[in-house]
Amino acid sequence: MNRRSFLTMAGMTGVPWMSTPGRGVRSNANASVSYVRQISTGDAFDVAVCGGGPSGVAAALAARSAGLKVLLVESQGQLGGNGTSGLVSHWLGGRTSDCKRWVVGGLFRSLSEEAFRRGFALIPEQTSKPYQPHGWYKGQLAAGIPFDPFGVAAMMDERIQKAGISLLLSTYAMDVMVDEERITHVVLLNKSGLVAMPVSAVIDATGDADLAVRCGSPFFKGREEDKLMTPASLTFHVDNVDQDALADYIETNKAPRFREKIAELRQAGEWDFPYEIFICVQLQEKGTMMINTTRLVDVDGTDGASVSAGLVAGRTEIQRLMALMRKHFPGFSRARLKAVASVLGIRETRRLRGRYVLSVDDLVSGRDFPDAIGFSSYGWDLPDPKRPSDNPSHGKKRDVTPIPYRVMIPQGVSNLICPGRAISVERPVLGPLRVMAPCMAMGEAAGQAARQVVEGGGAFAEVDFALLREELRGRGAVVCWD
């Protein structure tokens, strides 16, 4: 029997800040200790969904709708991921730029329309005006779904409870037990302590392929030449914005991102941030804006010390940025800081090194995929790791990007699937696929596919994807594009 568990953990490896050389404490950053203990087992589930962001919520709802007993685990205190806890309250990639067609249907469209009906979100229509406040120019930002993160988090709670899904918040999926390339238990940690939950299938919706890595699956990280990753953000919301004054400035100066104003401030020595643009999006009500401007370079979202430093640096930067906004940016003189995200907005960490890696050439050549389970309407968007305002393009591609089912399949473990931004793609391809609407499409497909894995005892790689696509189509998902 080949039973593996990562409950034997490195002691302080990779966390040098835990010791302080020069203060009477010897650094043992390269040492390790053996940590082994007996832990109790919990209830058995057909599928454990680890991560309660867009892909995880969609996966859990789809799996439960398919008749499975589902456990949803989320490390934060609420569902919704970066859209709620991260305050990136703008679902992107789910509609065409002219706002006329849904590129992602199924659960994404259902959640968007429910949030709209309940006053938690807007579904903007195309406008003849040169600028609109949800993106300030026509395109994918203008076609996004801005929403109230607090209302949407509560709405997701209701959907999960109504579906009969077991939910654990403030809980970490920290490890797995594997027997013959099949996960038998997921090890969880919360205030109750450690527990091993027996499972038949696992959906790793952590966004970082955390559980796939625990299983020993190979992965990529960062760009090939130096392993650097695109900058992180700490997003914040402001209210009491005079949007009429803001719109007048933007329309008069044709300056939706304040490039000229920022260049003046840099020349005057007041702007020393590593980015050259200002990004603001009106949320569900006029005068309330999401500011997705900060770009924190050299943050590694898989390193605890780096994330901690990024959060501190981000909060400090927000205070400085707010002062400059009030002083120099039309419409923001009386703006109030409403909320600061409790988690970093991480755009990139690990990507699976799967059996198939979706390539730039696949997108540029317009290749079709018989196992496509969804699409994204988003464009190339993965800023340079050191120059956050530089966003390289990689050639002309179709307006919609297909998502092959197989990019979610890790190597080395049979009953695990990974929807979300940890998929098996070349790095630039992460740009159009990492945003929240296509992540929901992936999650819904993963949850539906789990039915075949649980009922047949097989592997996610062996799923009948023709049947899967038909089932998704029956759920209102978009799996074909003309």
pLDDT digits (tens, 9 = 90+) for 64-120: 999 999 999 999 999 999 999 999 999 999 999 999 999 999 999 999 999 999 999
* pLDDT digits 0-9 by tens, 373-382: 999 999 999 9
214 and 248 fall within a common domain: no
Residue 40 counted as domain residue: no
User: Does the structure show a pLDDT above 70 at 428?
Assistant: yes
Q: Which residue has the higher pLDDT, 31 or 65?
A: 65
Strands 289-291 and 236-239: antiparallel
Beta partners for 47?
70, 201
Residue 144 counted as domain residue: no
Whole-angstrom CA distances from 112 to 44, 97, 105, 150, 253 are 32, 17, 10, 14, 33
Cα 274 from Cα 72, distance rounded (Å): 38
Residue 29 confidence class, pLDDT cut points 50, 70, 90? low
What residue numbers bound the domain in which 161 lies? 45-90+150-224+351-474
Cα 324 from Cα 313, distance rounded (Å): 17
Mean pLDDT check: name the lowest of 54-68, 127-141, 338-352, 359-373: 127-141
335 and 355 fall within a common domain: no
Last residue of a domain, one of 340, 362, 388: 340
| CATH number for the domain harbouring residue 425 | 3.50.50.60
pTM score, two decimals?
A: 0.93
Quick one: pLDDT at residue 13?
34
Residue 416 counted as domain residue: yes
* pLDDT digits 0-9 by tens, 346-385: 999 999 999 999 999 999 999 999 999 999 999 999 999 9
Mean pLDDT check: name the lowest of 1-5, 51-55, 129-133: 1-5
Quick one: pLDDT at residue 126?
85
371 and 446 fall within a common domain: yes
256 and 375 fall within a common domain: no
Quick one: pLDDT at residue 28?
60
Residue 193 counted as domain residue: yes
60 and 179 fall within a common domain: yes
Write the DSSP assignment of 27-83 as a string of letters.
Answer: --TT---------EE---EEEEEE--SHHHHHHHHHHHHTT--EEEE-SSSSSSGGG
User: Does the structure show a pLDDT above 90 at 266?
Assistant: yes
HSE-CB at 363 with a 13 A cutoff on CA atoms is 30
Query: How many domains in the chain?
Result: 2
Quick one: pLDDT at residue 131?
78
Give per-residue burial for 23-33: e unless 16+ CB within 10 Å, then b.
eeeeeeeeeee
Residues 284, 146: contact at Cβ < 8 Å?
yes
Residue 246 confidence class, pLDDT cut points 50, 70, 90? very high
* pLDDT digits 0-9 by tens, 393-420: 898 999 999 999 999 999 999 999 999 9
| Contact residues for 234 (Cβ-Cβ < 8 A; gap 6+) | 294, 296, 310, 311, 314, 315, 317, 318, 340, 341, 344, 345
Tell me the average pLDDT of the chain: 93
User: Does the structure show a pLDDT above 50 at 17?
Assistant: no
Percent of the chain at pLDDT above 90?
A: 87
Residue 7 counted as domain residue: no
Quick one: pLDDT at residue 1?
36
